[in-house]
Amino acid sequence: MAFEDLKKFQGQMWGSGPFEEVEASIADMHERVFEAAGPHDGRTWLDVGCGTGGVSVLAAQGGAEVTGVDLAPNLIETATRRAQENRIDATYRVGDVEALEFPDGAFDIVTSSVGAIFAPDHAATAAELARVCAPGGTIALSAWRPEGGVGEFFLFMRQFQPPPPPGVGNPLDWGQEQHVEELLGGAFDLSFEEFDSPFEIASGEEFWELFSRAFGPTRVLAESMDEDRRAEFRDAFIEYAERDRDGDMIRQSRTYLLASGTRH
């Protein structure tokens, strides 16, 4: 599968369910990204991989002139609808982080909360993030740590997924300081912090019901299986989730890297 075909599939996959239900569980991360971006009022702001508007809404409420871009048309539709319903002044458009349709230096602030990390070409992604950020502007990105709970979840999912096409970057690499420094250090003075965005849910069954309905990668994978394979996947998923049971709840640690910096 060529990268363009992969990105088309990703756009459909991420928009296949009500992602806003899952995105709500990382609201604390969105807040961290928003805060790391610095002063907001009156500044032009691009949020890449904006999903259903978690960071962009905060930015607009903070007085920024906000544009949100995502590969998934359905997520852009949801973000636009939610902004209109809540009288949020933000512009949303379908776009590819590897080929952003904006002039050089168009934005004072560029952010992405575990969004841009899923683009297959990391070097192209980093080049575009740097290109559209104005000199003296700010970047703030979050990425899952490979050794954290999400990294473990990706390893579990890999047992049931087809292998990625050759050359596709691992999104978890963005959760390592050295990788981000190699990609963006030539354009930004970067600093790094680690945080945890813990996930809590009552049971493995509820975890499965949420992700198989609202989280695109799990939903699309489950729907691609025959009945027996899907039942096997479901049982393994629930068993995996229950390993993190703590009393009456499942509590999963989800560590992530927050990278922020100033454009040279």
Element (H, E) at 137: strand 133-144
Examine residue 181 and state whether it is found in any structural domain, yes or no: yes
* Residue 232 within any structural domain of the chain: no
Buried residues in 98-132 as b, exposed as e (16+ CB within 10 A): bebebeebbbbbbbbbbbbbbbbbbebbbbbbbeb
Domain-embedded: residue 208: no
CA separation for the pair 40, 226 (Å, rounded):
49
Do 194 and 257 meet the contact criterion of CB atoms below 8 Å apart?
A: yes
Domain that holds residue 95: 3-154+163-200+256-263
Q: Is residue 64 part of a domain?
A: yes
DSSP 3-state percent helix, strand, coil across the chain (nearest 5): 45, 25, 30
Q: Does 115 reside within a domain?
A: yes
Whether residue 140 is contained in a domain is answered as yes
Task: Report the pLDDT value the prediction gives residue 2, as an integer from 0 to 100.
Answer: 73
Nearest to 50, CA basis, from 7, 130, 139, 111? 111
**Number of domain units in the chain:** 1
Per-residue pLDDT of the chain (264 residues; tens, 9 = 90+): 578 999 999 999 999 999 999 999 999 999 999 999 999 899 999 999 999 999 999 999 999 999 999 999 999 999 999 999 999 999 999 999 999 999 999 999 999 999 999 999 999 999 999 999 999 999 999 999 999 999 999 999 999 999 999 999 999 999 999 999 999 999 999 999 999 999 999 999 999 999 999 999 999 999 999 999 999 999 999 999 999 999 999 999 999 999 999 999
- Specify the CATH number for the domain of residue 38: 3.40.50.150
Domain-located, residue 67: yes
Report yes or no on 250 lying in a domain. no
pTM over 0.85: yes
